[in-house]
Amino acid sequence: MKKTKKVKSMGRYGARYGIGIRKRMLKIEPKQRKKHICPHCGFERVKRISTGIYFCTKCEKEFAGGAYIPQTMAGNIISKMVAQKSFVPHIEELISLKDEKEKEELERAEKEKAELSVKAERIPERREEKINEKEIEKPEEKEREIQKREKHKEKEKKEEKQKKKLFERVKLALPKFKRKEKGKEK
């Protein structure tokens, strides 16, 4: 394995990946390669199997941890809190806040149900109103639709005429072009 003065064992990567990344790797790699203390048996026999998975060769227990080391800073803080039970005094406050939120949610749900039932009662009335409006407006709408269809048909006819004219022009132009080509060949 190649070694250099600045990045030591990361010299194996040569000039690839940049100096910053190789220096970061130099800080992390020795930590992850060394043997760690087992949280179960207390011996220094824990090896890293893969990212975040560790195995103790003494007690043969497999456990999860940080990506590079078995216990991260956040994990250490939480385990200390659990050991000291410093969160216990705040449990009552948390429970009371949770109860208040549940009550508010129940009240909101009841209000929504009441609003939905009122809306459901109004819907049939609205449908009847719409049906009556449609019956009144139907003759006018039919006339409008008929006029739109006629305009559309007229546009289609104009487009077809224009296409035919273009096609005829192209047909007429092609034989002249071919004649010119034949004349050039001779």
Report, as an integer, the average pLDDT of 62-73: 91
pLDDT tens, position by position, 8-61: 888 888 889 999 999 999 999 998 899 999 988 999 999 999 999 999 999 999
pLDDT (0 to 100) of residue 5: 84
pLDDT (0 to 100) of residue 47: 93
| Residue 140: alpha-carbon gap to chain centroid | 49
pLDDT (0 to 100) of residue 38: 92
The SS3 assignment for 3 reads coil
Q: How confident is the model at residue 66 (pLDDT cuts 50, 70, 90)?
A: very high
**What's the pTM value of the predicted model, to 2 decimals?**
0.43
Structure tokens at 94: 């948390």
pLDDT tens, position by position, 139-176: 677 788 888 889 989 999 998 888 888 777 777 766 55
What CATH number does the domain located at 9-85 have? 2.20.25.30
d(C-alpha 30, C-alpha 137), whole Å: 83
pLDDT (0 to 100) of residue 186: 47
Number of other CB atoms surrounding residue 38 within 10 Å: 20
Return the domain boundaries, the chain.
9-85
Task: Name the CA dihedral angle for 45, 49, 53, 55, rounded to a multiple of 10 degrees.
Answer: -30
103-105-109 Cα angle (round to 5): 120
Number of other CB atoms surrounding residue 84 within 10 Å: 9
